[in-house]
Amino acid sequence: MKISFKNDYSEGAHPAILRALVDHNEDQQAGYGEDIYSLKAKELIKNKLKSEQSEIYFVSGGTQANLIVISSILKPYQAVISATTGHILNNETGAIEATGHKILGIETADGKLRPSDIIPILENHKNFPHQVMPKLVYISNSTELGTIYQRKELDELSQFCKEKNLYLFMDGARLAQALTSEINDVNFEDLAELTDVFYIGGTKNGALLGEGIVINNADLQQDFAFNIKQKGALLAKGRILGIQFLELFKDDLYFKLGKNANVQAMKIKNFMTEKGTKFLSDTSTNQIFPILNNSFIEQLSEKFEFYVWQRTDETQSAIRLITSWNTKDSATDQFLNELNKLL
């Protein structure tokens, strides 16, 4: 079996989570998220956020979180602003448009949006009522390119959105990895202040499944549960999500797992950097994009699984390596050994 660096969801769940599912299996609990585990997990997360007014809702996956949040917030004529690398734009089978909303894409170098990226969109959408109204800014942290937002960047973006009457929504499928990056200076609790909505990705950080949507803007909370049910996302056995998030947050397991993903990736990055390898983008989380000779890539792929991301010139390509909450030192070491032999 080859070791896989293709993604961060190729194994099951962290053992502590499985254990908790087994331990609480026989309790008779109320359905649809009214179980005590879900209630406790929500309370715990609110406490970590130090945000009394935030409300938390658990759903199964990222696309589901994105489509429910966005379709619940926007009026029919309102649109989303996203980097063209945004997951909703090209990796979710038109899930947002399927709920009726246009996404306005912005080309960026690093997958991050800044006010200066958004201003032209606003200026080019003033032909009332012939154009959609841009209303919600969608960002990912960490981004689909592995980069992260710094506190100052988030402050500016958040401030800008408030001034322009735009909602700010952060896709946190890889939030743990962002917040535990070496260069991160954003606190978990900052998110309650800086975004209207964000979600805490569980699937890509050690849960079997599950994302925790956090709605900070009280106006957007009203009747939100209807949307979850209507989109088919309200699990009868909501306990499965509650138990997992309780486990992830009670001893900061969530952040420890994110940290491991980053540490393993940085080991590879540092090693390759020393060897003179170039990268497609400068990342600090669990995704790295080294540029390698095609023949070299071929050899590497005999022992490891990963995506060839894009051809960079006639003889070279960037590959994408993803490490995870569950990447063992041994797997990384094997990869480094192989690199050492080949580089």
Q: Kind of pairing, strands 55-59 and 3-4?
A: unpaired
Provide, rounded to whole angstroms, the least separation between the CB of residue 156 and its own copies: 27
Applying CB under 8 A, which of residues 38, 41, 45, 60 lies at the interface with its own copies? 60
Instruction: Please give the size of the binding site for its own copies, defined by CB under 8 A.
Output: 78
Rounded Cα distance, 263 and 288, in Å: 12
Applying CB under 8 A, which of residues 47, 50, 183, 226 lies at the interface with its own copies? 226
CB neighbour burial string for 226-243, b if at least 16 within 10 angstroms, e if fewer: ebbeebebbbeebbbbbb
Provide, rounded to whole angstroms, the least separation between the CB of residue 304 and its own copies: 11
- 225 is a contact residue toward its own copies (CB under 8 A): yes
**Contact characters 145-174, its own copies, x per CB under 8 A:** ------------------------------
- The C-alpha torsion from 129 through 130 and 135 to 137, rounded to 10°, is -170
**Contact characters 245-284, its own copies, x per CB under 8 A:** ----------------------------------------
Rounded Cα distance, 33 and 42, in Å: 10
Provide, rounded to whole angstroms, the least separation between the CB of residue 284 and its own copies: 23
Closest CB to its own copies among 184 and 327? 327
Closest CB to its own copies among 77 and 275? 77
Closest CB to its own copies among 89 and 113? 89
Provide, rounded to whole angstroms, the least separation between the CB of residue 275 and its own copies: 26
Provide, rounded to whole angstroms, the least separation between the CB of residue 143 and its own copies: 18
Q: Under rule CB under 8 A, which residues in 18-37 are in contact with its own copies? A: 18, 21-22, 24-32
Q: Under rule CB under 8 A, which residues in 276-335 are in contact with its own copies? A: 326
Applying CB under 8 A, which of residues 152, 237, 275, 303 lies at the interface with its own copies? 237
Residue 94: how many other CB atoms lie within 10 Å? 11
Provide, rounded to whole angstroms, the least separation between the CB of residue 116 and its own copies: 19
Residue 169: how many other CB atoms lie within 10 Å? 29
**Contact characters 74-113, its own copies, x per CB under 8 A:** -xxx-x----------xxxxxx-xxxxxxx----------
Q: By CB under 8 A, which span of 47-55, 131-139, 178-186, 283-291 interacts with its own copies?
A: 131-139
Query: Quick one: which of 255, 267, 343 has its CA closest to 45?
Result: 255
Q: Kind of pairing, strands 103-106 and 3-4?
A: unpaired
Angle at which helices 329-342 and 253-274 pack, to 10 degrees? 10
Applying CB under 8 A, which of residues 45, 68, 157, 192 lies at the interface with its own copies? 68
Provide, rounded to whole angstroms, the least separation between the CB of residue 182 and its own copies: 26
Rounded Cα distance, 63 and 235, in Å: 16
Closest CB to its own copies among 209 and 342? 209
Provide, rounded to whole angstroms, the least separation between the CB of residue 203 and its own copies: 5
Q: By CB under 8 A, which span of 43-51, 143-151, 183-191, 236-244 interacts with its own copies?
A: 236-244
